[in-house]
């Protein structure tokens, strides 16, 4: 079940400088951001910015039974809440920053789903996360990112081979960047 949207909004607001948001992303984002997830057997998917796991649940509902999801989250309380739920055996909750991904995952990855707030992350660290993710991605796979503006799109476009963005006309507007490695 997770936290109610209302409880999540209180906790997100209390931690605004790391969450970068007042509320969880919308149902529309949960669906659209998963549009390019790999559905075949034995895939490795990585989520950055799990929060209370609203997108995490959508990812798990689409992955094959023998696939695995590594969900990174810097907030220890969010991690504890999701871990205590024992959501799914395929889920590995990692209480660490996206920039340390390579310490936790050895091989290549078949997809990234990210909602980390690039506006609140230094340019240097943000660019390192984008570059390291591109390098870790298998060819033909996607890095999908949700943000509340189109401002950072160019940074992704520079690194990935094909990039597009969709706008969900909610309040606030939600932008999803789909970035592919050829
Ligand atoms: C906008 S919230 C999104 C939460 C949830 N996935 C959703 O869609 O509503 C961003 C989340 O990223 C986490 N976060 C921020 N910086 C991070 C980083 N460098 N690595 C991992 N998680 C991070 C925050 O603590 C927060 O839970």
User: Which residues contact ligand 1 via a Cβ below 6 A?
Assistant: 18-21, 24-25, 48-51, 54-55, 72-75, 78, 97-98, 115-117, 121
Classify each residue of 70-105 as buried b or exposed e, where b means 16 or more C-beta atoms within 10 Å of its C-beta: bbbbbbeebbebbeebebeebbebbbebbbebeeeb
CB distance 38 to 141 below 8 Å: yes
Determine the pLDDT at residue 77: 97
Summarised one tens digit per residue, pLDDT across range 65-120 is 999 999 999 999 999 999 999 999 999 999 999 999 999 999 999 999 999 999 99
Summarised one tens digit per residue, pLDDT across range 124-158 is 999 999 999 999 999 999 999 999 999 999 999 99
Give 138's DSSP letter: P
Smallest CA separation from ligand 1 atom 25, residue: 19
CA of 116 to the centre of ligand 1 (A): 4
Q: Ligand 1 pocket: which of 45, 51, 59 to mutate (most atoms <8 Å of CB)?
A: 51
CB distance 155 to 129 below 8 Å: no
CATH 2.60.120.260 corresponds to the domain 5-180: no
Banded model confidence at residue 3, pLDDT cuts 50, 70, 90: confident
pLDDT exceeds cutoff 80 at 2:
no
d(CA 175, CA 84): 31
d(CA 104, CA 121): 21
CA 78 to ligand 1: nearest atom: 27
Banded model confidence at residue 39, pLDDT cuts 50, 70, 90: confident
Q: Strand (E) positions, the chain?
A: 44-48, 68-72, 91-94, 111-114, 142-147, 162-168, 174-180
pLDDT exceeds cutoff 90 at 1:
no
Give 25's DSSP letter: P
d(CA 113, CA 55): 9
% of the chain at pLDDT higher than 70: 99
Summarised one tens digit per residue, pLDDT across range 56-65 is 999 999 999 9
pTM, 2 dp = 0.98
Q: Where are the domains of the chain?
A: 5-180
Summarised one tens digit per residue, pLDDT across range 15-36 is 999 999 999 999 999 999 999 9
């Amino acid at each position: 079940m997770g936290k109610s949207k209302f409880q999540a909004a209180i906790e997100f607001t209390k931690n605004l400088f790391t969450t970068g948001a007042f509320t969880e992303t919308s149902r529309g984002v949960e669906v659209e951001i998963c549009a390019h997830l790999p559905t075949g057997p034995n895939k490795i998917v990585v989520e950055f910015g799990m929060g209370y796991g609203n997108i995490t649940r959508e990812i798990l509902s689409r992955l094959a039974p023998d696939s695995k999801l590594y969900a990174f989250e810097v907030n220890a309380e969010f991690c504890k809440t999701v871990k205590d739920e024992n959501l799914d055996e395929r889920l590995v909750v990692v209480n660490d920053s996206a920039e340390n991904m390579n310490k936790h995952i050895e091989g290549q990855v078949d997809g990234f789903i990210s909602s980390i707030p690039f506006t609140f992350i230094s340019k240097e660290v943000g660019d390192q996360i984008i570059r390291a993710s591109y390098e870790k991605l298998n060819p033909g796979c996607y890095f999908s990112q949700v943000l509340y503006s189109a401002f950072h799109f160019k940074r992704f476009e520079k690194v990935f081979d094909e990039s597009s963005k969709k706008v969900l006309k909610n309040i606030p507007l939600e932008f999803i960047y789909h970035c592919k490695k050829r």
